[in-house]
Structure 1
Amino acid sequence: MNDVTAEALTPKLTGKIARDRIRLLRTPRPPQGLIEKFKRIPDASSVISDVMDELGITGAIGASVLKPTLPNASIVGPALTVRNIIQREHVYETARDHVNRMAEFEAHNLAQPGDVIVIDGVAGISNMGGISAQTGKRQGEAGAIVSGGIRDVSHSRRVDYPLWATEITPVTGKWRIETVEINGDIQIAGIRVSPGDIVVADETGVCFIPIARAAEVLERALAKAAFEEEKCSAIDAGTSVADLPSKE
């Protein structure tokens, strides 16, 4: 294997809690070229949401629910999933004894360039902070989607790490949250997300596309985007409303 050993290619796990919770060491990868083609679609979440409706796929969530932290941010990538729950012990006990069961750093450890961390998190508590965001940026992640709280937003903005979250709070999760699964199936706003599903996020919202349907969604989305571009060109050219293209 040239100068690269099998050991070097195996993610190094930093804690027994995390090792016990990881379902897949390797996030399923999309077909070659698929992510780049999704990135060509303008107004991607809207176009893809329409296509998913037509195909009977549930997977779109508005930006009023999952709010972006960076203006003009737009990302596409495979999901690397994390599931958090509240710790059983009272926070005063865990803080006093420094009991930290958060393990999203193991997701960063597993991440490959372009991955999107997707966290099924805890409301009212931070599931990702600034140092975590900076780590994700260093790992080459596209960004993160968090159902739950995040904090240190100025830090994540400073390192240009895009985040979409349901809440922003200063309340730390390190004494309150337990990560119970990495790279398993999760639920985000009632939508099932599996490792490797395609995540498309922009200022309008977030779409989760099942990897098994991604090529089908992509083909229709590219066609719809081309039709809308044609329609916009006709508008700019002064075509009357009655004569604008009306069928895709």
Structure 2
Amino acid sequence: MTALSATAMPVSDDKLEKLMAEFATCAVANVSDNLERLRGAKGIKPFHRSGVMVGRALTIKVVPGSNGFIHRALDVVKPGDVLVVDGGGYVDRALIGEIMVAIAKSRGAAGYVIDGAIRDIDNISCNDFPVFARDFIHLGPYKDGPGALNVPVTIGGMMVHPGDIVLGDADGVVAFSPEEAEDLLVCTRAQQKKEEDILASVAAGTYTGAYAK
């Protein structure tokens, strides 16, 4: 994929919605391949039952073990937002559980991505509301630590900016700017078609090993 032009124009809300609907049918692995295999959240995995997540990043920075700013984010979350929480990778206290998942779902959020721990796994794993995190633990959070909303954050080594498109599936999570989304979608679709053709040739017994070259 070519680098994003410095003159890229902002994406309208209508176009952004259409692009996100298209990305909802794309594999995270194919998208990250077309970001030069450099971008992606390492160590962040899905804990919900199944399903793809796509939405706009509402970014949240918290201090380890404190979720007060996640509560603040739930007061301003909009339908289609993904709550992207930089918890510093700290997994000794859970930042969210069943109740905060229910609140996010009721307000139309598209999911959670948390570089930290969660709890109430029995409930979360039985539902399709997307929850991606680093780990789980029963110990709960404090609520009085400092933090910030709508600032650049780091999730599993991946930088996420407010308003980025966030895509998640069983393989993990990737994020990218709306301005690069259209070109990225074209490249991802081309790779998807190439892989479908390869699988068809494997099934037909005509595969020649060209994919490895």
Which bracket does the TM-score occupy, shorter chain normalised?
Answer: 0.7 to 0.9
Aligned counterparts, 1:1-248, within 5 A: 31-41=16-26, 44-53=27-36, 58-62=38-42, 65-86=43-64, 102-122=68-88, 123=90, 124-175=92-143, 178-239=145-206, 241-242=207-208, 246=211
Match of 1:6 in 2: none
Q: Distance in 2 between matches of 1:179 and 1:149?
A: 18
Q: Give the TM-score, by structure 1 length.
A: 0.72
Contact map agreement 2:49 2:126 (CA 8 A) in 1 = no
Q: CA deviation at 1:35?
A: 0.4
Q: Distance in 1 between matches of 2:17 and 2:152?
A: 23
Contact map agreement 1:49 1:207 (CA 8 A) in 2 = yes
Letter in 1 for 2:81: D
Letter in 2 for 1:77: G
Letter in 1 for 2:56: P
Contact map agreement 2:105 2:129 (CA 8 A) in 1 = yes
Letter in 1 for 2:48: L
Cα offsets for 1:103-139 (capped at 9, x unmatched): 3122222222222111001512111111000111111
Contact map agreement 2:48 2:126 (CA 8 A) in 1 = no
Query: 1:75 and 1:172, CA in 2 relative to 1: closer, same or farther beyond 3 A?
Result: same
Contact map agreement 1:146 1:165 (CA 8 A) in 2 = yes
Which has more radius of gyration? 1
Q: Distance in 2 between matches of 1:132 and 1:32?
A: 25
Query: 1:238 and 1:205, CA in 2 relative to 1: closer, same or farther beyond 3 A?
Result: same
Contact map agreement 2:61 2:69 (CA 8 A) in 1 = no
Q: CA deviation at 1:212?
A: 2.7
Structure 2: tracts of 5 or more residues without a match: 1-11
Cα offsets for 1:15-70 (capped at 9, x unmatched): xxxxxxxxxxxxx95624010111122xx11101110017xxx42134xx112112
Q: Distance in 1 between matches of 2:16 and 2:185?
A: 12
Q: CA RMSD in A?
A: 2.5
Question: Identity over aligned residues, as a percent?
Answer: 27
Q: Distance in 2 between matches of 1:202 and 1:78?
A: 15
Contact map agreement 2:104 2:111 (CA 8 A) in 1 = yes
Structure 1: tracts of 5 or more residues without a match: 1-27, 88-99
Q: Distance in 2 between matches of 1:126 and 1:189?
A: 17
Q: CA deviation at 1:83?
A: 0.5
Query: 1:114 and 1:126, CA in 2 relative to 1: closer, same or farther beyond 3 A?
Result: same
Q: CA deviation at 1:159?
A: 4.6
Contact map agreement 2:50 2:128 (CA 8 A) in 1 = no
Q: Give the TM-score, by structure 2 length.
A: 0.82
- The alignment of Structure 1 onto Structure 2 pairs a total of residues equal to 199
Contact map agreement 2:60 2:150 (CA 8 A) in 1 = yes
